Structure formats: structure tokens, C-alpha cells
Structure 1
């Protein structure tokens, strides 16, 4: 078996996401090419250091360099059964950029020029503070209209959390569930393959992929081939579609800021702080492991609230 296949096998054994798999395989390939196609078995910490230093000279960010390091540590530890010790590579500088946040009026204008499924998705990103993949991976069972809540499963870091549903989104959510039910019934009549399930649950209850509760809240319009199994099935709506809709809406609304799905989440957090919600509550709603990650929004909230007055205004 080729080393790349072994790498993929170990990643899947540990139930890492397809995105992590593709990223780790990409770093493995770049590492080998950088060293003239030498087999990693004959290399070690010194070659990894040289590669990571090369990435710094290319101008990559600290997070990119860290991802490359994680990929290579995984390769050596899990596949080659060796530890990489005392790596002393030149480190990329960590930068901390302030997130783009829309004012409340800008959110209103943006949502007003959107329609269809993307309007609901944008509203939930802002109204619940969801990450884009948390939103798109929602299943029917995760949405509790009667209880007014969404259960976010396996968020960043593998954590679950509960967020409140905006009352203004209830009617649109009900219509979306009805639309999803029609797609589900069409797929059932066509005897399509079940939707993707988390690996552990797929082993425990493989028939759940054919059930309504596990169907996507936002099913894709077209079928697609699963990159791992090769199975033709219904996936959830793609993030690029929502990204394009937000970008187009920002232009229509005349906004000068770059608007992405994460802009809606940043705005959610900042606006809650502006309303006086305590930072620990915001941390829980966002699913941040460390409150220091959430604290960046306090700086934005203070600036937007006008807590610090410019001396120019006293002249």
C-alpha cells in the first residue's frame, strides 16, 4: 500500500473530517516534493524543520504553518510510528486581525435584499451565531421549532451546543422543512443511497441515513459523488452558493465591507455585547473553548458603542 493511502486510512480510522484529510494529504505531497521526492521514512525532524522554514519564507500565516506541522506530525506518529522531537523551525509571525462587523442597520439592509433559501441561511448565521458548516450540516432532528432551539452537533473541537432560534425565522424554517420533506420523499421513491452519517453512528445504525430525522435541513439541489466512498447521494447545500449570495447581496445593498458567512457570526457576537449580554454567555453561544477568543469582540463593541470619546469632539 502506498504511503498516501496509508495516511488516508489512518485519518479515516480516527474519523477526521474530509477537509482535514485533504489538507493533510496536500501537506504530505508538498513536503515530499520539496525534498525531491525522497520517501519520508528516510527523513525526520531536520527535514521537517527545513520545510516549515521554507513556508515562512513564502510568507504563509502562522495558522497555515501550524496546519502543515500538524499534518507532518500526524504522518510520522500515526503512519510511520515515529515521533518528531525538538523541532526548531523558524516560526511564522502570529497576526491578530480585527474581524469585519456590520452595523445593525447594515444587517437590516443586507437581509432585505436577499430572498429564498439563502435569505433564511443568512438570517440564521446572524440570528444564531453559527459557523457556516454548522448551519449547512443541520439535520431535521437538530431543529426544534416547538422548543425554539437548534442543537449544533459536533461543532468545532467536536463539541455540541444549543442556540436559541430567532422567532422571526420560525415561519421560513417551517417552509424550508416542508421543502426538504419533498426532496426527501423524491429521493425515497427513487431509492437513492442514504445521506452521509457520522462514522461511529453509521456503524451503529446504518439505516438512519434513510430516515427523515437524519435528512439535511438544507439539501443540495443536485446529487453528488461522496469523495470517500464513491457513492452517489444527496449532500447538503454547498457553502460556495451561500458565499456568492452574500457577496452579491452586499453589492446590491451598497455595502463597502466584504461580507462573508463569518461576518454574520462576528456581527452576532458584537451586537450581543452591545446589548449588554455578558461575555461568558456569548462565549457559550459561539462555542469558543477559550473566552480569550471571544474577547476580541469587546474591543469592537466598545468602539461601536462610543465608550471612548475622541478629544477632537471636546474642542
Structure 2
């Protein structure tokens, strides 16, 4: 009897069942008549959508025609399909636009404005474009339970949405939403990712382009955030004092960070070559900031050239700066100032990844 082999596979995000067999015209003609069966021109295979009842249907259809080997077919958790939310109403778009203007006048950061706009729009769409005047605590509780929790969004996303909605109603409509059914999520303690000094050295030295080397090196040398690097202007560098002024970092706070002789030397080399006019690192247009996307590509290329397979982000360089300072004996209070942390508790997390402190701990296994 002819044989078909059934295997798991995916078509995008949808689970499917592959139907494999050596070419046989009669069998092919019979396979393609199975309801819902399709031919994938790229994978060169016949397939059907995975369902819990599909195996029984296939066994019944091919009974007496072909033997089905389903030894490699595993049970798959079928992704839940959620209803599509309606498009945002024109009136609510205008409301969000006014809210955006209010936040900008209050000097909220552009990233906060973007996140709050998106969060508020999502909430309004979930309510079916209800008028803000008739929205109640129950609507926010329903959104929390039936959208955020059911779709398993993160605790940080949950907090962002709640903050956006409450800010809008308290400041635009002078109406307090304080749902009792929503507990503030407990944020998980996620340890920062840290690279070894050897890995950092490979990343920083692999680029031949002096501009690319200077950008990545400055992030690590001063523990900068991505936006802080891109916002640096030439006037922010005090070469005589060896200091860099970070203007309006996170929380709209300025801070000073020291520039080592080695990083100053690299910046001078870069300046002679590029001669930027306003921003330290400029894009293709003179006087314009270098883009975040291009900076990400600079790092991605460095990782590929250095042969580092870890999913490194620019923020890993900042984490590594702080951890390496701690391991070299720098006081936590100074590290807090250098990083621009509001709370010392934020800085203390680096003690959990420092090799200097953890490395001194002796395992009781060694005494057995």
C-alpha cells in the first residue's frame, strides 16, 4: 500500500500538517482532492491546516487508499484568534491629537508621547469607540481583563496603558478613573545583560569606519543611552576639562560625565575626518541628527564582523559600562550619578551581575 508521511510545520504563524510522499500521479490526484489541501510552491509539499480533529479526518479519508505514518506528528498548541478591533473614530483621533499637544506643552518626552498615544488609541478601539464622556471604571477593568491579560501582554505594557488612560481622563476631562479591580502589576526583576571586556573590545575595534567606532565607543566609554548619544552637540564637549554634558537625559535631567584621554583622542580623529557642523554625529544631511535605525545597523554589523552571536543591543554597552565600573571598585553612588539614575535601587541591580562580588562566593559543593 502506498505511504504518506505526516509532519508538523508552520505557514507563517499558523500550524500546518505536511503530507509527504514520493511522486505518484494517482496518489497526488487523490491527495489534492482532500478538503482544504493546498500545494506550497516554495516548500514543494502538500499541506493542510493543523486542527485537533485533522488526523482523524485524514485517516478516514485515506482508509484503504494509503497508509499514513504519523509517528512524527506532534500535538500543537493552536494560537488563539482574537477579534479584530475597529478602526479609531475621527472624533477620538482629534481627542488624542489634543492630548498629544497637551503632553508636548508639558514637555513629556517624545517616546512617552508616542507610547501614550498608542495606548490610549488601543483602549478607545477596544471600547468600540465609546465617547470618553460615558467611559467608566468598568470599561478600563474590562480592557485589562479581556485584552491585556487574555493576550498575555507584559507588566510594563499593562502599566503604560493604565498610566496613559488615567492621565488622559484626569487632565483632559478632569475625571478620575480609579478602577478597584486592577492591581498594579509587579514588575519582574530582570537582570541586565553584560558583556565581558574582551567582547566589548572586539565590538568596538572591528569597524574600520572611524565614525562607527567613535559612536559605539562613546556609548560604552560614558554609559550613554542611545538617544543621549544622538542628541550630543559639539558644544556639549569640554575638551579642556575632559567632560561631556548630557542635556535632558531620561527624566529631563542634565548630567556631566567624564571623557577619558583615550576616547577624546578617538573623537578628535573622528572630528578631523568628518567635520560635523552641529550634532557630534550627523546624518546624510548636514546639521541633522544621525538616525536611530542607522545606529542599530552599525551595531549589528559590528556583531557580525566580531563573530558574536548574542542578541546584543546598544543598551548592553551601557549595562557593561556600569558593571565594569563596579568590578573595578567604583562606588555605587558615583555610578548612579554617571548613569543618571533617579533611584539608587536602579543602580544596585548591577551588584547582582558583577563577577567581582559573585565570584568571591564559594559553593558548598566544593567542600563535599
Q: Bin the TM-score by the shorter chain.
A: 0.7 to 0.9
Q: Which runs of 5+ in 1 are unaligned?
A: 185-214, 224-233
Structure 1 residue corresponding to 2:222, chosen from 108, 128, 131: 128
Match of 2:173 in 1: 80
Structure 1 residue corresponding to 2:114, chosen from 4, 22, 36: 22
Match of 1:58 in 2: 151
> Would the alpha carbon gap of residues 48 and 164 (structure 1) be closer, same or farther in structure 2, given more than 3 Å must change?
same
Match of 1:296 in 2: 349
Comparing 90-99 and 273-282, the one that deviates more: 90-99
Match of 1:116 in 2: 210
Q: Residue deviations 1:28-66, cap 9 Å, x none?
A: 211111011112221022212222332122212221111
How far has the Cα of 1:169 moved from its partner?
A: 1.6
Q: Residue deviations 1:188-234, cap 9 Å, x none?
A: xxxxxxxxxxxxxxxxxxxxxxxxxxx211122148xxxxxxxxxx5
Match of 1:195 in 2: none
Match of 1:266 in 2: 319
Alignment of 1:43-192 (within 5 A): 43-53=135-145, 54-114=147-207, 115-178=209-272, 181=275, 184=277
How far has the Cα of 1:158 moved from its partner?
A: 1.4
Alignment of 1:202-281 (within 5 A): 215-222=278-285, 234-281=287-334
Q: Residue deviations 1:225-252, cap 9 Å, x none?
A: xxxxxxxxx5311122222221221222
Q: Which runs of 5+ in 2 are unaligned?
A: 1-90
Give the TM-score of the pair, scaled to structure 1: 0.80
Give the TM-score of the pair, scaled to structure 2: 0.69
Which structure shows the bigger proportion of residues in strand conformation?
2
Q: Residue deviations 1:12-43, cap 9 Å, x none?
A: 22122222222111112111110111122210
Larger Rg: 2
Q: Distance in 1 between matches of 2:132 and 2:272?
A: 52
Does structure 1 conserve the Cα–Cα contact (< 8 Å) formed by 2:248 and 2:254?
A: yes
Query: When the two structures are aligned, how many residues end up with a matched partner?
Result: 274
How far has the Cα of 1:170 moved from its partner?
A: 1.3
How far has the Cα of 1:178 moved from its partner?
A: 4.8
- The structure showing larger relative contact order (alpha-carbon pairs under 8 Å, at least 6 residues apart) is 1
Q: Residue deviations 1:251-305, cap 9 Å, x none?
A: 2212232211100000000000110111111111111111111111112114676
Does structure 2 conserve the Cα–Cα contact (< 8 Å) formed by 1:180 and 1:219?
A: no
Q: Secondary structure at 2:174's aligned position in 1?
A: coil
Which structure shows the bigger proportion of residues in helix conformation?
1
Q: Distance in 1 between matches of 2:245 and 2:140?
A: 41
Match of 1:282 in 2: 335
> Would the alpha carbon gap of residues 148 and 45 (structure 1) be closer, same or farther in structure 2, given more than 3 Å must change?
same
Does structure 2 conserve the Cα–Cα contact (< 8 Å) formed by 1:56 and 1:92?
A: no
